[in-house]
Structure formats: structure tokens, C-alpha cells
A and B are shown apart, each in its own frame.
Chain A
Amino acid sequence: MAKVLLVDDAAFMRMRTARLLTEQGHEVVEASNGREAVDVYIDQRPDAVLMDITMPEMDGIEALKAIRLLDPDARVAMLTAMGQQSIVIEAIRAGARDFVVKPFEKDRVLAAVHKLLGG
């Protein structure tokens, strides 16, 4: 099983998604904004990252870019309500490997994590 960094400013979403991942045996570390995500990434070196986009302080796209600068092999999927095509393209160009639009199905999130882990 893997260590997954879950980044979302909504405590509710972190709780809900963390529960789903831990039920599958994953270890979950959390961050509540992009800046905190970068710090946690450096400290914890997770196997995969699930990243919200609309967050205070530093949004998810900026955090994705910062993490990819630190680690070009970082495995990040966006998990967001902002599913406009322009945002999807920006995220993919910045290095996101998957894009899950909220409200999400549990299986879709697990599939994204599986994909990030090379499954």
C-alpha cells in the first residue's frame, strides 16, 4: 500500500477522501492548501498526491508546479470541482497525471490512485 498526500482546503473533503483511502490500506497525509502541500511533500515524500485546485494561499495548479520542480517524477492527480477544459489542459501541461471532477464516485478516486501508483 502507498502513502498518499491529500490536499484540500475543505476539512469535510479531506475526511471523506481519507476515509476512502485508509479503508483500502493506504497511509494518508494531509494538507489544507497548496503552500502546506509543498511543505508536506518535501517532508513526507508521498507516493501519490490528490490535489484540489481552488484553495487559499496557493492554489492547486501552483502547488503542482512547485512540487514538480522539486520532484519531476511526482505523481499528482487533480481532484476538483473546476473541470473546465482550459483548467484541465493547464493541469495536464503542468504535469498532472489524472483529473477527477467532484462530486466524485469512490471508484473513480481509487482508480486515479491506482493509476498514479503505476497500476
Chain B
Amino acid sequence: MHFGVVTAFVEAAVDVLAQELGEPPQAGEMRTQRSTHATEEVTVLVGVTGHVRGMVLYGMSERTALALASRMLGERRTALDEIVQSGVAELGNVITGIAGQVLETRGITIVISPPALLVGNGVTFSTVDIRRVTVPLVTQAGNLAMHLALEAASPQGGPHRSVAAETSALSPAGYSATAAAESTPAGAGADAPR
């Protein structure tokens, strides 16, 4: 079930980015991490509750944010203004929403919160005991890193099980999951700061 959660998000990201950009992204090597997370220059955060709970983060450089918004709007954007911030936040919202639809077909229901945006790289925060799965996404507009800090909610009140823990136990065809005990540098999986 838990690997199904990860693939649902990858499928959603590929579908949404393909529709918005006209070409599907390439999903890079998937990693799992338990360390504190350092944000990229622009990070979209979407909370998830339901059968699976936690948060999903979409990290990217400012350059990628501008390029994504420009492509989605059909006009060149040069400043990280309200419209650009809103555009990349909406992108994270839509990917997470579509993942929710995919998960529903697998018997998993989630509810998502309105997206929040963190601007400024190197802000560290912890997802506490939830291991993260990080999926790099390479697009024409630049690179994104999708971080899934999710765990299955236990209906009996028993211990929760992180998606990453299950994912690293199940090495899927086409993806490789690498457990990383140590912190990953800020921007890993996304563009390096300009």
C-alpha cells in the first residue's frame, strides 16, 4: 500500500507537469531520509490528513519558479511576485489533489490543506519521526524536488508507519530507493541557487 502512495504522487506530478508544460518531466532517483529538511529557494508545503497524513513539499530554485509560472501563464514573469508565488503554490496544490484522486482508486482517502509557500533557502525544519521520500523531477522549466513526509494513519491508535519506511523495503521497478541517514544539503534534487 505504501509504495502505492509514492507512485500516486509521481504519477500525479508527471501528469500535471506534462499538461502544464507540454512535456512530461523525468523522475530521478528516489531517496529516503530521516534528517531535518533544508528548504530550497522556493518551497510549497501542502498538509495531508486522512488515511495517510503528514506533508508534501515541492522545492525549487527561484529561477525554476519563474520559468514554471511563465510557462503556465503564457507570458514571461521576471519577479517572484504574488502571481508567481500563487502559481507555484497552485501547482503543488494540484499535484497533491490529483495524487488524492489516484489514491482514492487504491482505497486510500486523503484531505489536503491549502498550500503554504516558504521563500528563502536554507530554512531547516524537521518532519519529526516521519522519514521523507524525495523524488527529483526534471522539467523543461528547471528541476523540482518532491518531498513526501507521509505516514499511514493507524485506525487502532497503534504505531504509525512512514511511507518512506515501507518504500525502502520495496524496491520498485523503475525507481531506486536509497536510505540516507544523514542530512542532505539544501537544494538537493532541485536547481542549485543562482
> Which residues of A pack against B, CB within 8 Å?
9-13, 15-16, 54-56, 80-86, 101-103
List 19 A-B pairs, Cβ < 8 Å: A10-B87, A10-B89, A10-B93, A11-B83, A12-B73, A12-B84, A12-B87, A12-B90, A15-B83, A54-B114, A55-B114, A56-B114, A82-B97, A82-B100, A83-B97, A83-B98, A83-B101, A103-B19, A103-B20
Nearest CB on A from B107, distance (A):
12
Question: Counting CB contacts under 8 A, is B118 at the interface?
Answer: no
Question: Counting CB contacts under 8 A, is B109 at the interface?
Answer: yes
Pair count A-B, CB < 8 A? 61
- Measured CB to CB, the nearest residue on chain A to B19 is A103
- B contacts with A, residue count (CB < 8 A): 25
Known pairs A54-B93, A83-B101, A84-B101; A103 contacts B16 (CB<8 A) = yes
Question: Counting CB contacts under 8 A, is B140 at the interface?
Answer: no
Nearest CB on B from A103, distance (A):
5
Residue pair B90, A13 in contact (C-beta under 8 Å): yes
Nearest CB on A from B113, distance (A):
7
Nearest CB on A from B84, distance (A):
8
Chain A contact residues: helix, strand, loop or mixed:
loop
Chain B contact residues: helix, strand, loop or mixed:
helix
CA A35 to CA B101, docked complex, whole Å: 26
Residue pair A13, B86 in contact (C-beta under 8 Å): yes
- Measured CB to CB, the nearest residue on chain A to B87 is A12
CA A10 to CA B100, docked complex, whole Å: 19
Task: Report B-chain residues with C-beta under 8 Å of the C-beta of A55.
Answer: 114
Known pairs A12-B73, A15-B73, A103-B16; A81 contacts B96 (CB<8 A) = yes
CA A80 to CA B100, docked complex, whole Å: 12
Known pairs A56-B114, A82-B112; A11 contacts B97 (CB<8 A) = no
In the complex, given contacts A80-B97, A81-B94, what are 20 additional A-B residue pairs having Cβ atoms less than 8 angstroms apart?
Answer: A9-B114, A10-B90, A11-B83, A12-B69, A12-B84, A12-B86, A12-B87, A16-B73, A54-B112, A54-B114, A56-B114, A81-B96, A82-B100, A84-B101, A85-B104, A86-B104, A101-B97, A102-B90, A102-B94, A103-B20
Question: Counting CB contacts under 8 A, is B72 at the interface?
Answer: yes
- Measured CB to CB, the nearest residue on chain B to A102 is B94
